[in-house]
Amino acid sequence: MCGIIGAVSSSNVLPVLLDGLKRLEYRGYDSSGLAIIDQPGKFLRLRAPGKLVELERTVSANGDIDGLTGIAHTRWATHGPPTEQNAHPHISGDRIALVCNGIVENHEDLRIWLTDEGMEFQSETDTEVIVNLIRLHMDRGTDFMSAIRTSIKSLKGAFALGILHADEPGRIIGVRRGSPLIVGIGEDGIYLASDISAMIAQTRKFIVLENGDIVDINRGGMEITNLDGQVQHRDARISDLTPQSMEIGDYRHYMEKEIFEQGQAVSDTLEGRITASRVLEACFGTEADRIFNRTENIQILACGTSYHAGLVAKYWLEDAGMPCQVEIASEFTSRKHPTPNNCLVITLSQSGETIDTLTALDYAKQCGYAHSLAICNVPDSSLVRNSELVFMTHAGPEIGVASTKAFLTQLVALRLLSIVMARKDPSTAQDEADSIRELRELPANVESTLKMNSTIQEIAQQFADKQHALFLARGIHFPIALEGALKLKEISYVHAEAYAAGELKHGPLALVDRDMPVVSVAPNDTQLDKLKSNIEEVRARGGKLIVFADSETRLSSRENLQVINVASVESSIAPIIFTIPLQLLAYHVALIKGTDIDKPRNLAKSVTVE
């Protein structure tokens, strides 16, 4: 979603802003813009719809641009289409420039009021009300900072802002309410950004602003205050990220790189979390032992791919004797909940900034849910900071919009959790040492599964002229089918639906014909015989099947049935392994279709609006 980068520096900020925008691209956007104070009292503003290359063209056409203070923005359109006029920064009265990530919920009322007060609007955006509101207060005699404070108090919604005053070069005001915003402290300047990746070429030292913080960045340093002007102390930290860890290397796409990093990511996520025979439950937090002992049931909340990881976990946790509910985060907040006793709320999120998941966690707390655990890939994210217990997946930065290695490492985390929970119920008689051995073998199994790449590349050709696909699976692999379908539709724009295979004859079988490829995963588990019947039901109706099958299933290719063997693994880790061919299939189909794989249309990596 929208991204912010701002800089106050001792040298020209233009290259810093353009580099920052490039690094923010992965978040998803459809227009971009920047404003630089190129001489006291004057902004140079350039904006362009479409990809960043369009803005770069506009910049080049403007000759030499030089300024020591600037803000820039990638916009993911919400209010108003992605046009130049709607792109940020928005400027009011040639004096104040502002960029925003988030949504102003009461923008309609404010726009009417501001118009009545004589303010003019140039765009359809909700953001423009903020900049006009600040200017109105200043026109009435309020100073810049007080005008910002007064304006923020009348806004509803979640947002992060970067604000410049043309008469004050060397100064940027940042505001955080809900949406993420951090300050970078470099040798040559101070930076403001939506995430650390945007400023990683300048500095690794950063401060995470808290909700309600207002940072006043100036040449002398910075000061953080709250809405009432009281000074707030925030510690600076050093990020683990390096510019190198964000490089694409020899890969064609970040998604490809991230799929192939999964063996290492799984290994990194396990490291220090297990002994030869035991999961170290302190990896969920120092209070994990006490909280887990009290836990009687689990509620998982997440969105998209992370939600699918939650669905897999339900099978593992309930197998371990722990009742578990899983819900799409944005749906959880839509109704009242009778509060279950001693319920642990688990939120799953790659980014830790997904607003639906954050809101659902807040709502669960209001409803009286006892404890919270976040399983997340981004340290210092809002979700991590709002949760009692935390398990960090060590997947490394995930840039491709389609989540891959974050999903696999979430599954590893949830598998570890289910092993810990199984200790509570001796009747499940799970052998922890066996489960650990299976996990230890996992990185090698991931690596060998990735060797299916060239086979899957050939299979993907069958989708070259296809518009639709069905995914089928049973039991714990049904969520894997959901994930396979999501990957395919997200990056190749092929319409894909996943069904529990038992549901086939209750409706979707009507869709099956020669033009509807049917993809299935067939592990060697208790559901296999039933799945084989479902496969035959498709074949009998002329459907063409592609089945990724455990080599022990003795499924073999015949007319309308193409079987691709996957190395046989224990059923406890099979969902992790069977995810990989489906990721590779989506990737290769998207390559054939020629889509923008890392930045699929209309999507954002970090979804920070509800």
For residue 356, the minimal CB distance to ligand M6R (Å) is: 8
Give the whole-angstrom CA distance, residue 61 versus residue 53. 12
For residue 410, the minimal CB distance to ligand M6R (Å) is: 8
For residue 486, the minimal CB distance to ligand M6R (Å) is: 6
Q: In Å, what is the CA distance from 165 to each residue of 252, 275, 574?
A: 42, 57, 57
Residue 537, SS3?
A: helix
List residues binding ligand M6R (CB under 6 A).
Answer: 303-306, 349-351, 354, 357, 401-403, 486, 490, 607
For residues 191 and 391, which CB has a smaller minimum distance to ligand M6R in the complex? 391
Per DSSP, the residues of 27-43 read G--SEEEEEEEEETTEE
* CA within 13 Å, CB half, 404: 35
Quote the Cα angle for 348-208-28, to 5°: 60
Q: Does 303 qualify as catalytic in the annotation?
A: no
First to last CA, the chain: 11
For residues 193 and 597, which CB has a smaller minimum distance to ligand M6R in the complex? 597
Query: Tokens for 601?
Result: 């249309």
Q: Which of 479, 472, 473, 475 is nearest to 311 (CA)?
A: 479
Q: Which of 255, 591, 262 is nearest to 456 (CA)?
A: 591
Q: What is the CA radius of gyration of the chain?
A: 26
Nearest residue to the partner ligand M6R, using Cβ: 304
Q: Which of 544, 576, 579, 537 is nearest to 563 (CA)?
A: 544
6 phi/psi in degrees, rounded to 5: -140, 155
Residue 51, SS3?
A: coil
Q: Is the peptide bond before 89 cis (omega within 30 degrees of 0)?
A: yes
Q: What is the 3-state secondary structure (H, E, C) of 349-372?
A: ECCCCCHHHHHHHHHHHHCCCCEE
The sheet carrying 214-218 orders its strands as 90-92, 96-104, 157-165, 171-177, 214-218, 221-225
Catalytic residue among 257, 405, 599, 605: 605
For residues 133 and 392, which CB has a smaller minimum distance to ligand M6R in the complex? 392
For residue 61, the minimal CB distance to ligand M6R (Å) is: 34
Residue 233, SS3?
A: coil
Contact 33, 55 (CB under 8 A): yes
Give the whole-angstrom CA distance, residue 281 versus residue 419. 10
Catalytic residue among 2, 283, 343, 376: 2
Q: In 195-342, which residue ranges form alpha helices assigned H by DSSP?
A: 254-260, 262-270, 288-294, 304-319, 329-332
Give the whole-angstrom CA distance, residue 166 versus residue 78. 27
What does the CA dihedral 531, 536, 541, 545 come to, rounded to 10 degrees?
70
Per DSSP, the residues of 459-520 read HHGGGTT-SEEEEEE-GGGHHHHHHHHHHHHHHH--EEEEEEGGGGGGTGGGG-STTS-EEE
**DSSP label of 1:** -
Q: How many CB atoms lie within 10 A of CB 512?
A: 21
For residue 385, the minimal CB distance to ligand M6R (Å) is: 15
Q: Does 2 qualify as catalytic in the annotation?
A: yes
The residues annotated with a catalytic role in the active site are 2, 605
